[in-house]
Every structure is written in structure tokens, then in C-alpha cells.
Structure 1
Amino acid sequence: MSNIQIPRGTQDILPGESEKWQWVEQIARELCTNYQYKEIRTPIFEHTELFQRGVGDSTDIVQKEMYTFKDRGDRSITLRPEGTASVARSFVENKMHGLPDQPVKLYYLGPMFRYERPQAGRFRQFVQFGVEALGSNDPAIDAEVISLAMNIYKKVGLKNIKLVINSLGDQDSRLAYREALVNHFKGSIHEFCSDCQNRLEQNPLRILDCKKDRDHDLMKTAPSILEYLNDSSKEYFQKVQTFLNGLGIPFEVDPNLVRGLDYYNHTAFEIMSNAEGFGAITTLCGGGRYNGLVEDLGGPETPGIGFAFSVERLLSAIEAEQLDIHFAKPLDCYLVGLGESAREKTLPLLQEMRMNGVAAETDYLDRKMKAQMKSANRLHARFVVILGDDEIEKGVALVKNMESGDQVEVSLSELVEHIRTA
């Protein structure tokens, strides 16, 4: 019988790597706390209808990439492919629109699932970090959300990043632009892929996102959304830019940047990596403002803005910039117990150390002292505590500083405090 292997498009994150994940996740969590975004945890699977309505029937995610199955009650269930729809569903279901403090500022972190072709930095199970601010139409919150995303990347040390922004305008502006796109593409839509042919009537903005036909001449001459913004949409976009300038955040305006879902409006943005060797797909993070999603899920009219990024992509960008990450807490103490009576004292001592904030380890293979000292070296222990029959009789332990080589006797009653404060 052959060995069972990991499913394609997934990965094991082993010790040595998992600490990097914890490090970047902790940075994101701490920044969210500073910005007053609170964590929300939603189910890993939801009713399929949520994503059909919340993500959109015309999207590649819904049409091609979802993990959907029937449960034992014959209900259609889908592993979540993204986080916004679940957050919006929870916002409506838990009546968060009635909370006294608005907007409601949330973040989430967890695995998402998409059946797509695995490639460098992309997986079928991936971890997504995302932020949603629901309940405010103020362009200042757009700038806040963008600054939070940018500052996560800066805090981990990335230098080669670029912010690109655009406006999709309000509903009237989008409708005018939609009509212009249909008129632009319809005469030659037969030259485009079948997906784009379907998108022409369903959602023509998504034609501009097509990877297959991106080099088609009509793509290069497509009208710009900025030409179709009405006065109020232009004013909104200008205010967002003013706030970003005030925050000292450099950006580029790219009129070809679109978010294809029907409920997106006004601000759209992406953060990209310019790091050499990062790969052809440079986008690290995508986000934008949306109206209509909460209403579509049965809630009151509620504007929102958010972003999401894959932790895998962030770690790939860190690797591409060859950043030196110092994340591991060193081992404070390796406890060497020599002889039976010493071994009986070892576990209680370890317990006391660990409960007092000291990272401590000992030997469980009954090895000689020399082998235990080698193990302490490999684990980069700051101190080795040696406990033998003689030491127990005297009520002391030998404490060796592994950096200086100095060795002192310390009373067992003072041992934990000595290691903790050294």
C-alpha cells in the first residue's frame, strides 16, 4: 500500500516555518488593535447561496473555483473562498448595524479554499487576512483602511511595494461606464475568450481583468472609468487622494484597475511587490469600497470598504526581499538531570519555570551529560541548569551561562527567579 500524501495545492507548515507565520500574523493583529479593528471568526463552510449572491454568479470564483458539496441533509455547502461575504452575512445576522459605535471595524484571519491551478505562492488552501469597515461613507475611512494595509507591509520590513488606486464612481457613473464598455467591445467580442463573451452582458468591467486577452488591441484603447465619473464621484476620489497625501502614503492612479464585482464602487486599490524575482503576478493585496452587498444579504443600506491578502504571498515577498526575520524566542534554560533523584526533581522545576514565563526544556531520552549539552547548544539555550545527587543534597543547582561559559551555584529556592531576571 502506497504512502498517503498531502493533497495537491496544500502545504504542511513545519516548525521553523510556522514561527514566521506567527510573527507576521501577530504584527497584523497588533496593528489592527491600534486601529481599533476587532477580530471576527466565521465558519469555514457556509451555504453555497451566500457566495453565489455575495461574490457573484459571473465570477471565476463561483463558476470555476469553489469547493461545493452536499451535506447529509442534502444542503449545498461551500468551503469559503473569501472572507467578505461571510463577514457581511454575520453583520446582518447579528444586527451589528444597530451597535452604538459605527462604523463597525472588523478583521479576520483564516484558511480559504479555491480550486485553482497551483503555482508559486498560490494554493488551493491558503490563509487570508482581511479587514472590513462597515457603516461609513467618509472618504477618510478609505484612507485609513489603505494606510492599515500599507503599514502591515511596512511593519514586516518590505521596501519594494507600490500602491495603485482608482475610482469606480457611484452607481450612475458605473452604469455610464458599463454602457461605454459594451459599445467598445461588442463589435469584436467574438475575438475574445468565451468568458469575456459571457461577461459582455453580465459584467463588462470584468473583461478588463481577463488574463487571456489582456494584449488585445481593444484592451489598450478601452475607455477609462475616470472619463465617466460624475462630479460627486470625482470629488470623493479627490478627497481620498488628499487624505492619502496627508498620511504621506505615495500612490499611483491606474484607470485600468477595476474590481469586477457588482457591488464595488468608488475607491479600488491594490498593493504590489516590485521585488526582483517575486514573479509575474505582483499583486499582494486587493481592496475597495462596496455598496449593495449588505442589502443583498437582507440588511439595511450599509456602505463598506475592506481589503484582503494572502499570508503566503506576504511571506513570498519577504523571501524575495531577503529580509532577516528575528522572530524566535530563545530557549531560556535547558535542565540537565543526572541520576534518579535528580530526575524526580526535574519535572516540578520545569513546571515552575514554565509557569513563571521561562522557556525551559529537558532531556527525555536518558542521554549522557555530553549529549544533553549538545542538545542545549542546538536549541540555543541561554542557560544550562545541572542537577545531580550532590546538588540536591545541598539544595542548589549549577547554572552555566552558555554565552560567557561562567558557572555559578544557585539555591533551588531562588533558581527560577535567577533565570527569569538574568
Structure 2
Amino acid sequence: MSTFAAPKGIPEYYPPTSAGFLHVRDTLTDQARRAGYGYIELPVFEDTALFARGVGESTDVVSKEMYTFADRGDRSVTLRPEGTAGVMRSVIEHGLDRGQLPVKLYYAGAFFRYERPQAGRYRQLQQVGIEAIGIDDPAIDAEVISVADAGFRALGLTGFRLEITSLGDATCRPAYREKLQAFLAKLPLDEATRARAELNPLRVLDDKRPELRELLADAPLMVDHLSTECREHYEQTKGHLGDLGVKFTENPRMVRGLDYYTKTTFEFVHEGLGAQSGIGGGGRYDGLMAQLGGQPLSGIGFGLGVDRTLLACQAEGLAVGDPARCEIFGVPLGEAARSRLVAIGGALRAAGVRTDLAYGGRGVKGAMKAADKSGARFALVLGDRDLAEGIAQLKDLTSGDQRPVPLDDVVTEIRAALARPR
């Protein structure tokens, strides 16, 4: 037995269950492509300062959860904990913000946070994200939210809800910050929470401890102190969500875990997941590009958890993904038949048919057992007698029915058989 194991807190996906993971990821990214978002592939690690400045030093992500290390050149680098800062860095570096706006990008991949492993909370988490950069328009806020909503619904999920609020901007948040700090100053906070309140009081509202939540019951809310412009932006966003048929619940106490959010902020929650109920979320980040050295352009985006979305599908009993490795499984009986089936397999794959073959000189019983395990719909059996007659036997692995098909037309015959309903 191997003495090695996967690192703690990192899920692995392998056949047949990996089919569900792929289906969730591909379904979510498909909705982004439908809305005109182009793909961006990001570095897995970046300069640590990018995340410290972009995500916010007061966040748990930066202060407690980042995988940071010195490389061989003694440079401080960090495994990416989220996607937006990296996307913004790339947009600035490559001048994408100087072309047609908005810049609409999507990404998918692994992100890393050092957290206590538990169900739905991993140290390597898989996400799909989108970013729309350069336009401050409530309609694009609604579009971004609707892309996520459509992705979840395309998977068949029904047991989730969308929560939204507005976190204001630089014109109204400073005054609110003073009100909140004055309120917090009167509370019996512990030293660590008091320090957090001084650095970013909004972070205190995100504390999950029941005793602190009770103390914060009468805390002033940002949504009640919005400027006229932010209020109008929020109302228009909600109106466009209605136009798109996206249902939502307002949650004025929502505080996302990253410092860069402004105005529209949202989260998708699935109650079937217990404590780790969030399956995705995001918001607007109007000051982030300028903060990272670029133009003062606005932006909005989301990150959707592929791992948690898959858990949500499982919680609802949804069968997602096709675990079958192939559609056709070749069973050769003899060396001459094997050579011919190897060639047929190549032709079938070229025609877009997923095809596998019994390798290793298995007998008929072992080869048919392998065919059943592959999940294939049909077995293509070829022996010396069949070869001499110019035919192969196409066997339906569900019903057991079998019929001969001419070798000269085998690709056409198989594609036609696969097109027919089961």
C-alpha cells in the first residue's frame, strides 16, 4: 500500500464521480460564454502584494488564510486565494482596459486558502468566475447576477436563494463608517475584534459568533445610509433583475469576505449544505483597478464554488454528468480482429464517437465485463468468422439485443444507432 496520500482538506475527483464535477464546471462556464465573456487563464501564484493590496489586509483571507512563501529568488509569492485581483492585474498589464468596454472575462480553476477542513470548506477550492470591467451600469450588474442564477438553474438546482444588498461607495461609506465605529465603541468587544473594528468596521458585521451577533442586532446598516446615486443604482439593479426574471431576497446585513466590494453585493445560498451554505457570490468593486495602478474604471464579478455546487446537486438528489467513459466498447476475438478494431476505433473517434477497446488479450467473458463497466451503450464484437464475412456484431449492453453491421459502413451504422433513443 502507498504511504502517500492527498494533502488534508483537498478533494479529489476521479471516475466515475468526476463526471459530475466536470458537468457542474462546464455548465457554469457555458452560461458565461452565452453572455459574451471570453476566457482568461490566470497564474496559479502571484506577487503577494497583489492580494494584500487588492483583497484587503483586514480580511481573513489575507491575514489568516493565504499560502505565502518565498521562491528561489527570495520573492514573496502567494497561491491565488481568489480570482478578481489577478484578472484586474492582467487587464492592466496587457492593456485590455484600453480597448472596447466593458472587458468581459471568465475563468475556472483551483484557488487556495488555509482553512480548517470541513464539509464544503476546502484548502484547494474550485471556482468559476466572471468579471465585467469598465462600465458602471446597473444593467450589467443584473447581467452578472443572472449568469450565475442561470448556471445553477441549468443544473436543475431549485433549493437556493439569491441575497443582495448595496455596500455604497466612497461618497457615502465614510460617513456610515463613522456611525458604525461609534456604535461599536460602546460594545464590550474583545481586543482582536476591537482591532478589526478600527481597521475595517464592516468586517465586524461579518462575525459569525452568536454572542456578537446579538450585540450587533441594532447596528446601523449601510443600506440605510446610501447616497442618492448609490440608492438609485441599487433600485435600478433590482429592477433589471425583475426584468430578467431573477428572484432575490434583500439582506441588508450581508458583508462579503473581501474588502474591495462597493455598491451591488450578492450571495447565493443553499440551505441543504448546512453551515457552509454559500455556493457563490460577488459584487461591484469600483475602486479596485485604480488601487492596483490602473485607470479608475469600475467592475463587477462573481466567484461560484464548483465543489459546493456539486454538493448542492447531491443534496437535491440530482444526477449530474454522464459517468460513462465511452459510447462504444470494442471486443476483439483474435489478433486479426484486434488490428481491424484498432482501426475502427480510430475512425469512430475521428467521427466524434467516444470509443474504447478491450486490451491485453482478454477472453470474451473478461472483455464483456469490461464493456459493462465502461458504461458504453453498445459493444462492437468482432471475431475471425465475422471478419471473413465483412461484418461485426453490435450488441446493445442494456437490452442484450445484437445485430450484424457491415464493416464497410460500421461508422455510419454506429452513429445512426447512437442517434436513436434508448
TM class by shorter chain equals over 0.9
Structure-2 change in CA distance of 1:351 and 1:51 (3 Å): same
Structure-2 change in CA distance of 1:30 and 1:198 (3 Å): same
Counterparts in 2 of 1:358-377, with a 5 A limit? Answer: 358-377=353-372
- Post-superposition Cα deviations, 1:232-268, rounded to whole Å, max 9, x if no partner, equal 2211111111111222222121211123644321111
Shift of 1:326: 4.9
CA contact (8 A) 2:205 2:255 kept: yes
- Post-superposition Cα deviations, 1:131-176, rounded to whole Å, max 9, x if no partner, equal 1110111111111111111111111111111111111122121111
CA contact (8 A) 2:168 2:263 kept: yes
SS in 2 for 1:8: coil
Counterparts in 2 of 1:34-113, with a 5 A limit? Answer: 34-99=34-99, 101-113=100-112
CA contact (8 A) 2:324 2:374 kept: no
* AA in 1 matched with 2:92: V
Residue 420 of structure 2 is matched in structure 1 by none
Work out whether 1:327 is the aligned partner of 2:326.
no
Alpha-carbon distance in structure 2 between the residues aligned to 1:359 and 1:338: 21
Alpha-carbon distance in structure 2 between the residues aligned to 1:281 and 1:389: 59
Structure-2 change in CA distance of 1:261 and 1:378 (3 Å): closer
Shift of 1:186: 1.0
Which structure's relative contact order is higher, taking Cα pairs within 8 Å and 6+ residues apart?
A: 2
Residue 294 of structure 1 is matched in structure 2 by 289
Alpha-carbon distance in structure 2 between the residues aligned to 1:193 and 1:404: 68
The CA RMSD measured in Å over matched residues stands at 1.8
* AA in 1 matched with 2:370: S
Q: 1:310 pairs with 301, 305, 310, which one?
A: 305
Counterparts in 2 of 1:13-32, with a 5 A limit? Answer: 13-32=13-32
SS in 2 for 1:172: coil
Structure-2 change in CA distance of 1:10 and 1:418 (3 Å): same
Structure-2 change in CA distance of 1:216 and 1:29 (3 Å): closer
* AA in 1 matched with 2:304: F
Structure-2 change in CA distance of 1:301 and 1:349 (3 Å): same
Residue 141 of structure 1 is matched in structure 2 by 140
SS in 2 for 1:72: coil
SS in 1 for 2:147: helix
SS in 1 for 2:408: coil
**TM-score scaled by length of structure 1:** 0.94
Alpha-carbon distance in structure 1 between the residues aligned to 2:189 and 2:133: 37
CA contact (8 A) 1:357 1:420 kept: no
Alpha-carbon distance in structure 2 between the residues aligned to 1:249 and 1:346: 51
Unaligned runs of 5+ in 1: none
SS in 2 for 1:121: coil
Alpha-carbon distance in structure 2 between the residues aligned to 1:158 and 1:306: 21
Residue 182 of structure 2 is matched in structure 1 by 183
- Post-superposition Cα deviations, 1:19-71, rounded to whole Å, max 9, x if no partner, equal 11111111112211111011111100001010011111111111111111111
Structure-2 change in CA distance of 1:261 and 1:331 (3 Å): closer
- Using the TM superposition, name which of 105-114 and 232-241 deviates more: 232-241
Alpha-carbon distance in structure 1 between the residues aligned to 2:325 and 2:125: 29
CA contact (8 A) 1:103 1:134 kept: yes
**TM-score scaled by length of structure 2:** 0.94
Work out whether 1:338 is the aligned partner of 2:333.
yes
CA contact (8 A) 2:381 2:394 kept: yes
- Post-superposition Cα deviations, 1:359-378, rounded to whole Å, max 9, x if no partner, equal 22221232221232232233
CA contact (8 A) 1:169 1:229 kept: yes
Could you tell me the percent identity over the aligned residues? 44
Alpha-carbon distance in structure 1 between the residues aligned to 2:382 and 2:129: 50
SS in 1 for 2:172: helix
Aligned length: 417
